[in-house]
Amino acid sequence: MTLEIVLFVIFALVCLVSGILMVTRVNPVISALFLVVNFGSLAGLYLTLNAQFIAVAQVIIYAGAIMVFFLFVIMLINPEHEKRFLEYKPQLKIFAVAIAVLVFLQIAYIILFSKPSEGVSREVAASVKAGTIEQIGRELFTKYVLPFEAVGYLLLSAAIGALVLAKKKFK
């Protein structure tokens, strides 16, 4: 159906353009805001893939929490030397872009060559069912309980570590 294609094209373009702008802007605040746009359009792409719960989680976690955090840290850091980052090494940039384009062409060739669309066919009903919050909750709390508890410990260690690192000379 055509709605899916229209949405895919729009979100993919927004995603790519904002990603490229994110990398090329000098001011880190503008860069972070473009990354928010990028994460929002990725949430839209997840919707076209019928992953509803992950789309919402993307907006809540990435666009809502992590990027706010990044903006706070950008504001924490003294911006006076931003011009110094412009110290220009054109040969390095050209080399980096050339390497990236080469690797991208390689990956694209492999993807097109291996023809994954012959192996998988998308059944919309099955993919809708896979993305619902009920299905994810069911799998998460029956098969994947151990990783779930491990995530709890990971986040505990993250909280303690960040407090220790940031609080040292705080008082």
Partner 1 sequence: MQIPIEYYLILSAALFMTGIVGVLIRRNAIIVFMSIELMLNSANLTLITFSSYLGNSIGQIFVFFVMAVAAAEAAIGLAIIIALFRNKLTVNLDEINIFKW
Partner 2 sequence: MLESYIPIFIVMFFATVIALGITFSSMLLGPQRPNKEKLSTYESGMKPVGTTRERISIKYYLVAMLFIIFDLEVLFIYPWAVQFKKLFAEFGISIFISMFIFLVVFELGYLYAYKKGGFEWD
Note the residues at the interface with partner 2 (CB under 8 A). Answer: 1, 3-4, 7, 29, 47-48, 50, 53, 57, 60-61, 64-66, 68-69, 72-73, 75-79, 124, 128, 133-134, 136-138, 140-142, 145, 148-149, 151-153, 155-156, 158-160, 162-163, 166-167, 170-171
Q: How many Å from the N-terminal Cα to the C-terminal Cα in the chain?
A: 60
CB of 19 to partner 2, least distance (A): 18
Please select the residue that binds partner 1; options are 59, 83, 127, 146, rule is CB under 8 A.
127
Residues 95-114 that bind partner 1 (CB under 8 A): 96-97, 99-101, 103-104, 107-108, 111-112
The answer to whether residues 58 and 46 touch, using CB atoms and an 8 Å cutoff, is yes
User: 120-143 burial, b for 16+ CB within 10 Å, e for fewer?
Assistant: eeeeeeeeeeebeeeebeeeeeee
Gap between the Cα atoms of 142 and 117, Å rounded: 31
14 touches partner 1 (CB under 8 A): no
In the bound state with partner 2, the residue whose beta carbon lies nearer, of 97 and 124, is 124
Gap between the Cα atoms of 6 and 8, Å rounded: 5
CB of 150 to partner 1, least distance (A): 9
Please select the residue that binds partner 1; options are 23, 37, 56, 91, rule is CB under 8 A.
23
Q: Which does 98 bind (CB under 5 to 8 A by kind): partner 2, partner 1, none?
A: none
Gap between the Cα atoms of 125 and 47, Å rounded: 14
Q: How many residues make up the chain in this entry?
A: 171
